[in-house]
Chains A and B, each alone.
Chain A
């Protein structure tokens, strides 16, 4: 069942399409990573999805409620942490969460619910402090707590770990993972490890368009991608000799010596074939032990850079005809 449904969403600022005809959907219980370089349109999309700004085209619905025609029903289902947490600095954490509780017209028992929310994000020890006196990490947590008030089915988190220290980042990620077990979450970020650490599926957006949308495994390829690092005993000539006997090998590049008495080699198979067994047998025959065989997965970074690069290239080819015609005009003038 699709909890979030976005179809042809478009937002135009001036003559620039900040978000251009975006469509995707998120299933119940899924954690979707929303990736893209700065200014790609992530926040704009999220603001439209939560009803903060209106769309110039297309539609977005949450749990079957359209955000424009049934805004209050849809908003009731959403917990939203914007890029900058919307905090009132003159309130204490408890006062603030009480305000949010009233604002969202929550019907769950107030006291136990707020205690539970504060416990989930780790705010219990600062609950009576003024928000303005909290550190950035705690402020971010208060923002997250705010989104959790009322137990919404859908969480939309815009860069939830930005500006936190490494320990806090890991803590918040764990919180998000825990929350994701019974909620649907959209998480925007430009930190790529975060996606690998937390998300089930990724939508990459660039210049307002969707550049890629798939699970992380599919995007980065399976472990048998045909490339791996071998560490074998002996010297590089021995190793290369053995490898040259295997026909499926496309290339074998010596990396160097990392461990005494052994050599590291990157092996790449033709057409991504799985040759690990063959390699093992070949080395075993020659009584040369393989100490390590580490598959080289494409990291999400590789995918991201490639996808962004591809869309940039597409954009350029799209723009080419215009440039050419301009050039032609200029040339004709010269004649």
Chain B
């Protein structure tokens, strides 16, 4: 797993992909940071609520090539015939993508540091925000990892990931026009973004944590099954 993690992480920063992901994230964080200061508030949640919309566009960039490229270039054969389990291949790739996100997040720590130097925002609230952010984006990345394993084409992988994330993003606004409680329940399960608002008000709940972790786990599990299944067809 470590070998694949290292290779993928290196690849992100050898190719422009890592920077294409990081640059907009940092740039928009900076823009919203300035706007936040203009509103005379120190609530970091303001920044990240807006930044989460950005995931629709940059998560597909991060995950599109993970498996699609390996299949296209036939390098998948090397990974699968090596003495490693498919699950460790998937985990290695997932953690590499998550790693790029975490590095980006570390860079963006400059903004809270400025805040803390100038004023006295709540530390626990900021930490909660970051925990929520990591959980939320980990689940987006797992969706992207899964979709990348479905196709040989990076373009299809990116567009599909965008489409799925868009559905997840807009799903809770649909609840307004739906009356069936059954449909509402299903939508509630899919409403990945809605649960993030708990973190915004500084609330870490066990159920939300489990929700995000199992969401991520399910998509990673589907990825493993999908790769295994292809070997049998």
13 A-B pairs (CB sep. < 8 Å):
A50-B81, A52-B80, A72-B85, A75-B81, A80-B81, A82-B81, A84-B74, A86-B75, A86-B78, A88-B11, A88-B73, A90-B14, A100-B82
- Chain A interface: which of B2-10, B25-33, B43-51, B179-187? B2-10
* Cβ contact within 8 Å between A78 and B78: no
A-B contact number at CB 8 A = 64
Our pick among B3, B14, B77, B85 for the contact of A103 (Cβ within 8 Å) is B3
Contact string against B for A residues 9-28, beta-carbon threshold 8 Å, 1 for contact and 0 otherwise: 00000000000000000000
* Cβ-closest chain B residue relative to A146: B78
B172-214 CB contacts (< 8 Å) to partner A: none
A51:B80 contact, CB within 8 angstroms: yes
Tell me if B83 and A104 are in contact (CB < 8 A): yes
Q: How far is the CA of A50 from the CA of B76 in the complex (A)?
A: 13
Residues on B close to A: CB < 8 A?
Answer: 2-4, 6-7, 11, 14-15, 73-85, 231-232
Query: Which residues in B have their C-beta under 8 angstroms from that of A51?
Result: 80-81
- Specify which of A90, A100, A105 is in contact with B78 (CB 8 Å cutoff): A100
* Chain B residue nearest to A78 in the complex (CB): B81
Whether A76 sits at the interface, judged by CB under 8 Å, is: yes
- Residue ID in chain A nearest B7 by CB atoms: A99
Contacts of B14 in A (CB 8 A): 90
Known: A53-B231, A99-B3. Contact between A76 and B74, CB under 8 A? no
Contact A72 B74, CB 8 Å, known A52-B231, A102-B2: no
- Report the minimum CB–CB distance from B228 to chain A (whole Å): 9
Name the distance in Å between B75's Cβ and chain A's nearest Cβ: 4
Contacting residues, chain B, for A123 (C-beta < 8 A) = none
Q: Which of B2, B7, B77 contacts A82 (CB 8 A)?
A: B77
Q: Given A52-B231, A72-B84, is A103 in contact with B79 using a C-beta cutoff of 8 Å?
A: yes
Chain B residues with Cβ below 8 Å from A53 are 231-232
Q: Answer whether residue A87 sits at the interface, using C-beta atoms and an 8 A cutoff.
A: yes
Cβ of A54 within 8 Å of any chain B Cβ, yes or no, is: yes
Chain B contacts for A89, CB-based, 8 A: 73
CA distance A75 to B7 in the complex (A): 21
**Is chain B's interface secondary structure helix, strand, loop, or mixed overall?**
helix
A82/B74 in contact, CB under 8 A: yes
Chain A, interface residues (CB within 8 Å), range? 20 to 34
**Given A86-B75, A99-B3, A146-B78, A105 and B15 contact (CB-CB distance below 8 Å):** no
User: Which A58-89 residues have C-beta < 8 A from chain B?
Assistant: 71-73, 75-76, 78, 80, 82, 84, 86-89
Contact A103 B74 (CB under 8 A): no
Could you tell me if B82 and A90 are in contact, using CB atoms closer than 8 angstroms? no
Do A52 and B82 have beta carbons less than 8 Å apart?
Answer: no
8 further A-B contacts with Cβ under 8 Å, apart from A82-B77, A88-B73, A102-B3, are A54-B232, A72-B84, A80-B81, A86-B73, A90-B15, A100-B78, A102-B2, A103-B79
Q: How far is the CB of A165 from chain B (nearest CB, A)?
A: 23
Residues of chain A within 8 A (CB-CB) of B79 are: 103
Residues of B within 8 A of A105 (CB): 83-84
Q: Which residues of chain A have C-beta atoms less than 8 A from B82's C-beta?
A: 75, 100, 103-104
B73 / chain A contacts, CB cutoff of 8 Å: 86-89
A contact residues around B84 at 8 Å (CB): 72, 103, 105
Complexed CA–CA distance, A259 and B24 (Å): 82
CA distance A158 to B80 in the complex (A): 16
Q: Across chains A and B, which 5 residue pairs bring their CB atoms closest together, nearest first?
A: A102-B3, A86-B78, A75-B83, A86-B75, A72-B83
A72-B85, A90-B14, A104-B82 are known contacts. Are A52 and B7 too (CB-CB below 8 A)? Answer: no
- The 8 Å CB contact of B6, one of A73, A84, A102, A146, is A102
1/0 per residue A112-149: CB within 8 Å of B? 00000000000000000000000000000000001000
B81, A52: Cβ atoms closer than 8 Å: yes
B232: A residues at CB distance < 8 A: 53-54
